[in-house]
Amino acid sequence: MASVSDTPTLPRFTRLSPTDPFSTLHEFLWPATDRPPNPIQHGPECRGLAPYIQTYATNSEPSSRIRYIDLRKHPVLRVHALASLDTLIVRQEYVDFLAEVKVGYHFYVTGEHGIGKSVGASYLLLHLLACGQPVFFVPEPEAIYYFCDSGVQVFRGPNQGYMDSMTPIDAAVSKSWVLLDVDAVRHPKWYPRWWICLAVGLVYTALLDGRSEHHYTKQFVADTREMQPWSQEEMEALRTLEASRYVDT
C-alpha cells in the first residue's frame, strides 16, 4: 500500500486518475515505509517483488530454475510492455543488469529487434517501485510519468524541453530515477532532453542507429549494455508456462 505524503504536483504535471493502470500499480507495489536509499541494497530483486516470483524447473540436464511472474494471477502488474503478456520471465539478463545499476550510473540498453528491451524496462520499473524509489518514466515522446511517494503525476505534450530549466522539476529529478523506453524506430526524431542528466540513475532502452547511439552515449556519458538472446531454458519455461493457460485447472 502506498504511503501518504504532501509531495506537490510539479509544474505542468497533473495527478493521474486513481483508476489508471499506472496508479493502481503504484498503490500495489509502493511500500508503506520510508524508501531505502538504494534499491540494490535489497539484492537481485527488491523484497517487495518476492511474493509474486515463482520458479519453474526445466527438463534439461542439469535442470535449471527459471523464475517468472504469473501475470494472470497479478494483473495489476500488466503495464506498458507487460499489458498483453500472461507470463513475465525474470531473465538472468535482468538480474545481472540490476547488479550493475547503481546511483549515478547512466546506461543505454540495446539489443536485437524483438528481444524484449521494453519488457526489461517494465521489469526495472516494477523493481524500483517495489523499493519505493521515485521514477520518471518516459514510454513515448509525449508522455512523462512521475512516480513518487504520493502517487503518480503525468505530463502530456510534445514539448519536454521546458523541463530543462524548471527548478521544482530539477529538485524532483535529482531524487529520482529516469527510465526511457521510447521506440526509436517509430519515433526517429525524438531525442532525450538535458533534464535527465540530473537523475539518481538513468536507463535508456532502445535500438538506435550507430550515429544516434554514439551521440547519446557520449552526450549523456552512458555505458552500453547489449541484451543477450534468450537461453534454451528460458524459452522452454516460457513455452510451457504459456501453454498452461489453455489447460483447465
For residue 203, pLDDT over 70 is answered with: yes
Q: Give the least confident one: 1-5, 105-109, 139-143, 157-161.
A: 1-5
What pLDDT does residue 158 have? 76
Q: Which grid cell sits at 86?
A: 500472461
For residue 6, pLDDT over 70 is answered with: no
Q: How confident is the model at residue 106 (pLDDT cuts 50, 70, 90)?
A: very high
For residue 218, pLDDT over 80 is answered with: yes
| Cα–Cα separations (whole angstroms), residue 174 to 20, 125, 135, 160 | 26, 17, 10, 17
**Cα–Cα distance measured from residue 124 to residue 110, given in angstroms and rounded to the nearest whole number:** 15
Q: Give the least confident one: 13-22, 35-44, 66-75, 158-167.
A: 35-44
Q: Residue 57: what are its φ and ψ, rounded to 5°?
A: -95, 120
User: Residue 121 in contact with residue 203, Cβ under 8 Å?
Assistant: yes
| Cα–Cα separations (whole angstroms), residue 208 to 58, 190, 216 | 35, 11, 9
- Across 162-175, average pLDDT: 80
Contacts of 97 (CB under 8 A, 6+ apart): 107, 109, 120, 124, 225
Q: Residue 29: what are its φ and ψ, rounded to 5°?
A: -100, -30
**Cα–Cα distance measured from residue 222 to residue 224, given in angstroms and rounded to the nearest whole number:** 6
- Across 177-190, average pLDDT: 90
For residue 145, pLDDT over 90 is answered with: yes
Q: How confident is the model at residue 162 (pLDDT cuts 50, 70, 90)?
A: low
Q: Do you find a cis peptide bond into 62, omega within 30 degrees of 0?
A: yes
